[in-house]
Structure 1
Amino acid sequence: MRVRPQFEAALAAAREIKAHAPHCRVIFTVNEMRRLGRDAAELTALADHLTAHGLVLEMLAGPLQGMYDPSGPGRLLFGFFAAMAETERENIRASTLEGLDAAARKGNHGGRPPVITDDMLHTVLRRRANGETVEDIQPDLLIPTGRRKGQSPSLSSIYRALAEHEKTQAYPEAVETAHADFAALQQRDRSPK
């Protein structure tokens, strides 16, 4: 069974409590079913795990809100809602990908604009070549746009831009190939079908 680390720790704690007090009812509480797993198989495996360890599941929201014992007649209902949760997740994923694709065709690629512009990078490269440190250069750089306009970029942003620049210098043919492939892809998307 594949679960998130915090979730696994909570399950381990619930199993330990049940092991020390087998006569007590141990309730494992989650916000809603869709947070339990990524697909119906994972949700069903979790239900089997809870049953095997004598744990009761409580959901605070969603279609199965309340206490749920994953054995007996509730198992079929749990399976149905697990399948519905998987379908909903796939629909959201498909809609998101379609939206991103439509935005990319319009030239919108999302994300934040880079903090370090080409001019800033060239300034850093030139001044470093003259022996200055990044720490000395950083206060003189100003972010031209966005929420932090007029402020200096962080040292980590500068070092990240320098590392990316070094990669492009180390593998110039790979960068050129990537640019050519991207241009061909854009041309193909623009051509009438």
Structure 2
Amino acid sequence: MTGPQHPSPADRSDADGVEAHACPKCEAQPGSPCRSRGGAVASAYHTRRFTRVARLKKALRVPTPADRAPGRPWRPGTPPPAPVDPALPSADIRIGYARCSTLGQELDSQLDALAGHGIPRDKIFAEKISTRIRVRPKFEEALRTAREVKAHAPHCRVIFTVYEMKRLGRDAAELTALADHLTAHGLILEMLAGPLPGIYDPTGPGKLLFAFFAAMAETERENVRESTLEGLDAAARKGKHGGRPPVITDDMLHTMLRRRAGGESVEQIQPDLFIPTGKRKGHNPSVASIYRALTEHAKREAYPDAVEQAHADFAASRTATVPEPRPDSPDRASL
């Protein structure tokens, strides 16, 4: 039994030469084999098509190579790349993108790295925005600019450059979709640092590596999130709560209670109170803040057990999978 027939290099070369032209008979466009009347891939190229190739003008028949699947249902192929005009410049064009998550972080190191890589400042798009926000204006503008540059200069390599992978996003699906989007528009992705520095090759091992490191970046983000939640929970158990400092401190509350007991109104007490810390340090607290603090104090005084039980239930829900029924609950009584 003979094995599968593989087209020889000469057959493939002839086929590539023929498919560089459109077929005047079956109207197959460049990059596609000829098709038969039944809608299948023709077993041989039509004469009027292959005679356009100088070396095949005297040939009687040019068969369709086996890798073009003759006899199978016809599908349009990929058109060959347009010929490059040697008079046009062929330099790489880079579009840079820099991002950090919070207003407190700085972009200077990323901007310097991108500018040092030869990207003009007017081709670098930067913003301070979290990756959790799906629509990032400067990121969308950078992608749109890269696509426009590629459309106006198809002979150039347009490279979308970032400092590292996590500047693009930390969700594996989002990163992979972005890589596919760049590939579909003929753009190249480049990273200057991180686990995958250099130009990203969208085919072969490059694609596998990119998918792997994208998944690793997502895992790293989840680990950081879990560690942060555990740290906040441990601090809360020690009585340390995050966020801005309270406007009404315990000392201020005692002063308010003493003066209220003496018959003074909130409006009379408010001008003598000053916020000790925070952005409004040295200012008077608002009347609403004072009333809110007095209301919360009254609730704690009226229902001290309920407040303590609420804190205990919250702590138990963070540590136990299934909460135990309370001693006085109907479930416990029925056991």
Aligned pair partner of 1:142 in 274, 287, 303: 274
Counterpart residue identity of residue 283, structure 2: S
SS at match of 2:239: coil
Aligned residues of 2:266 and 2:287 also touching (Cα < 8 A):
no
Distance 1:188 1:87, change over 3 A: closer
Cα distance in 1 between the residues matched to 2:287 and 2:162? 41
The whole-number CA distance in structure 2 between the counterparts of 1:88 and 1:105 is 26
> Do structure 1's residue 182 and structure 2's residue 310 form an aligned pair?
yes
Distance 1:187 1:68, change over 3 A: closer
Q: 1:126 aligns with which of 266, 270, 273?
A: 266
Q: 1:149 to 1:10 in 2, by over 3 A?
A: closer
Percent identical across equivalent pairs? 65
Deviations 1:76-123 (A, max 9, x none): 111111111111111111111111111112221122212355849x79
- Work out whether 1:53 is the aligned partner of 2:185: yes
Q: CA RMSD in A?
A: 3.7
Paired AA for residue 94 in structure 1: E
Residue 42 of structure 1: CA displacement? 0.9
Higher relative contact order (CA 8 A, sep 6+): 1
Task: Show the counterpart of 2:282.
Answer: 151
Does structure 1 conserve the Cα–Cα contact (< 8 Å) formed by 2:170 and 2:214?
no
Deviation sequence 1:50-99 (CA, Å, 0-9, x none): 10111111112101112223233310111111111111111111111111
Q: Matches of 1:160 and 1:19 in 2, distance apart? A: 59
Letter in 1 for 2:173: A
- For residues 78-117 of structure 1, the aligned pairs below 5 Å read 78-117=210-249
Q: Any idea what the Cα deviations from partners look like across 1:147-190, whole Å, max 9, x if unmatched?
A: 6696226xxx849848x94xx89xx9xxx8x957733425758x
* Residue 12 (str. 1) matches residue 144 (str. 2): yes
Match of 1:43 in 2: 175
Counterpart residue identity of residue 310, structure 2 = F
Change in Cα spacing, 1:19 to 1:179, as seen in structure 2 (3 Å) is farther
Change (3 A) 1:107 1:15: same
Counterpart of 1:108, as a letter, is K
Q: Which residue of 1 aligns with 2:165?
A: 33
Contact 1:59 1:67 in 2 (8 A): yes
* More helix as a share of residues: 1
Give yes or no for contact 2:190–2:199 (8 Å, CA) kept in 1.
Answer: yes
Please tell me whether residue 75 in structure 1 is matched to residue 207 in structure 2: yes
Change (3 A) 1:13 1:184: same
Alignment partners' CA distance in 1, 2:197 and 2:242: 37
- TM-score when normalising by structure 2: 0.41
Please say if residues 50 and 70 of structure 1, whose CA atoms lie closer than 8 Å, have aligned partners that are also in contact.
no
Q: Could you tell me whether the CA contact under 8 Å between 2:160 and 2:188 is conserved in 1?
A: yes
Structure 1 Cα separation of the partners of residues 195 and 161 of structure 2: 15
User: Quick one: structure 1 residues 25 and 141, their matched pair in 2 at CA, closer, same or farther if it must change by over 3 Å?
Assistant: farther
Task: Give the CA deviation at 1:5.
Answer: 2.7
Tell whether the 8 Å contact from 2:168 to 2:175 is kept in structure 1 after alignment: yes
Structure 1 residue ranges without an equivalent (≥5):
none
Structure 2 unmatched runs, 5+ = 1-133, 260-264, 318-323, 325-335
Instruction: Give the TM-score, by structure 1 length.
Output: 0.67
